[in-house]
Amino acid sequence: MPPSEIIKKLLTSRGFTTQKSISEFLNPRHPDGIKWPDLNILSTDIQKVKNIIQKHIQNNHIIAIYGDYDVDGLCSTAILWQTIYQNYKLVFPHIPDRRIEGYGLSIAGIDHCISQGAKLIITVDSGIVAYDQIAYAKKQGLDVVVIDHHEKSDVLPPADAFIHSIVTCAAGLSYFLAREINEKVENLDLVCLAVVCDLVPLTGLNRSLAKFGLETLNHTVRPGLLALYEIAGIKNISAYHVGFIIGPRLNATGRLTHAMDSLRLLCTTNPNRATDLAKTLNDINIRRQQLTETQTQHALSQITPNSLIVVADKSYDEGVIGLIAAKLVEKYFRPAIVISVGETVSKASARSISGFHITEYLRKFETLFSSVGGHAMAAGFSFPSSKLSEVITQLAKSEVPKELLIKKDRFDLELPLEYVSWDLYLGISDMQPFGLGNSTPVFLAKDIQIMDPKIIGKSGTHLKFIAFQNGISFPCVWFNPPILKLPTSANYYYQIDSDTYRGPGNLQLITKNISGL
């Protein structure tokens, strides 16, 4: 089977069955060609937002860009603040303090913006369900514009204008608005960070933003990003580096301290300042990793893996409960909710599995909650700690459909090792960037022999071995396998990668699973 036929099968499985759809996928249009109708947004809504911003600029009013402390919120804030600030200096960013203000638009955050003289608040990555908060802002005489991609509730808040779409992330929406305001500002690098880290499907226009954004990231002149690359040892940045190396460092400050340092890193033009900030983010991320591991181990010791996992404790840091929930989902393959129990208010984070819309599920109990929001795969909510027992009891009653809880080894094609080639690897590379909605292809080779296994890595938690089948062999690595002792033969699930250690043109296989373990 030639490489071209294998690539065609991979594309077909992703829904690209015509020559036109295949060409559009492999050669996505540049973001410059994306228009508001592609985002299901009316041009009249955009004009309304532009008119409001222009009105406040003409009146010399102070404008607040009210963001969030995750990568999407930070990048959205940076994009709009830099775009407006380039020609109008009476604009400032506001990033909430997770522990004092909580998630999203808050009364405390609005009061801070008012104290700085703001007459207009533009929310990015939040606000679409903040009815009471926006009503409060309006009573204080503020105009409010909401730019958000989260799911709407039945009643919209009383904002003056909205840019809302679930097609892309908030940074994507901010990017297209920024292009309307000032075409000279280049923000594709920031959009790419958000698109990858916020786990929006990397298809359609998001594929365009990610693909061209990665090119921009690899040639960025932002001192902060260059300093992060340096401290993380990155030379050629891929979607993997964005999602697993850069993103966690940007997120770490908002989890444990305050995310303004991450925003400063994205926006600074001073290389020395960038170096200091990159070191700060790196150090905080190490602390975040250690805290997550310790508290995940505690959670694992406390839970009973029902169809939906709920675990709560006073020791859980609200900054890492989402990460703990994700690890529980990874281990047990069922939705997980982790609650940080506070003296008066408890905060929870939820992660889900495909097919179980966690936010819709949680909204069934919203009379118990002070706030709730999110999307299909992740959500957050808070509630009075006095209701802890009731909340746990109600949530634990859930019966997730049993068919959703069966974890299957995902693979694209059965592919004997004889078909693995450099040309196939190059063809697969043309399908990048990989991510949600366009995952890295996984293949199955049946009845391979496993030879010469060795434990590798500083921590001794990885494996290296040779996969042999019908006279063909390839070096293989397996990062963090569930066990370190392997069978001598098995069905083998793998990805194809270049082996930079052995030099250009050499291949290795990345192990995804071995049957029966």
pLDDT in tens, 435-484: 988 999 999 999 999 999 999 988 888 999 999 999 999 999 999 898 88
Residue 4 has pLDDT above 80, yes or no: yes
Measure the CA angle with vertex 132, ends 140 and 139; round to 5°. Answer: 15
409-514: CATH architecture? Beta Barrel (2.40)
Q: What span, in angstroms and rounded, lies between the C-alpha atoms of 471 and 417?
A: 9
Task: Say what the pTM is.
Answer: 0.90
- The band of 516, judged by pLDDT with boundaries at 50, 70 and 90, is low
Element (H, E) at 341: none
Distance CA 404, CA 388 (A): 28
At residue 343, does pLDDT exceed 80? yes
DSSP state, 242? I
| Mean pLDDT along residues 143-163 | 95
The pLDDT, as a whole number, for residue 95 is 97
Numbered ranges of CATH 2.40.50.460 in the chain: 409-514
Longest dimension (CA), the chain: 77
Instruction: Note the helical H segments in 333-454.
Output: 358-362, 388-396, 422-429
Residue 8 CB contacts under 8 Å (≥ 6 apart), including other chains: 22
Structure tokens at 120: 């207009």
Residues with Cβ within 8 Å of residue 48, at least 6 apart in sequence: 160, 161
Inform me whether the pLDDT recorded for 50 exceeds 60. Answer: yes
Place of tokens 């690899």: 218
Chain center to CA of 290: 21
Mean pLDDT of 157-170: 97
Q: How far is CA 373 from each of CA 104, 345, 510, rounded to the nearest angstrom?
A: 10, 17, 36
Q: Which amino acid belongs to residue 268? A: T
Supply the CATH classification number for the domain 33-186.
3.90.1640.30
Q: Locate CATH 3.10.310.30 in the chain.
A: 303-405
Q: Where in the chain is the domain with CATH 3.90.1640.30?
A: 33-186
Nearest Cα neighbor of 238 from 204, 211, 206 is 211
Give the pLDDT of residue 517. 55
CB 494 within 8 A of CB 476: yes
Top pLDDT among 501 and 275 is at 275
3-state secondary structure string across 121-186: EEEECCCCCCHHHHHHHHHCCCEEEEEECCCCCCCCCCCCEEEECCCCCHHHHHHHHHHHHCCCCC
Determine the average pLDDT of the residues in 138-154.
Answer: 94
Tokens 């599995």 sit at which residue?
353
Question: What CATH number matches the domain at 303-405, 3.40.1360.10, 3.40.50.720, 3.40.50.300, 3.10.310.30?
Answer: 3.10.310.30
- Express each pLDDT in 22-33 by its tens digit: 999 999 999 999
Those residues whose C-beta lies under 8 Å from the C-beta of residue 442, and which sit 6 or more positions away, are 410, 411, 412, 493, 494, 495, 512
Residue 271 CB contacts under 8 Å (≥ 6 apart), including other chains? 223, 226, 227
Please give the helix or strand (H or E) that residue 496 lies within, else none.
strand 489-498
Report helix, strand or coil for 290.
helix
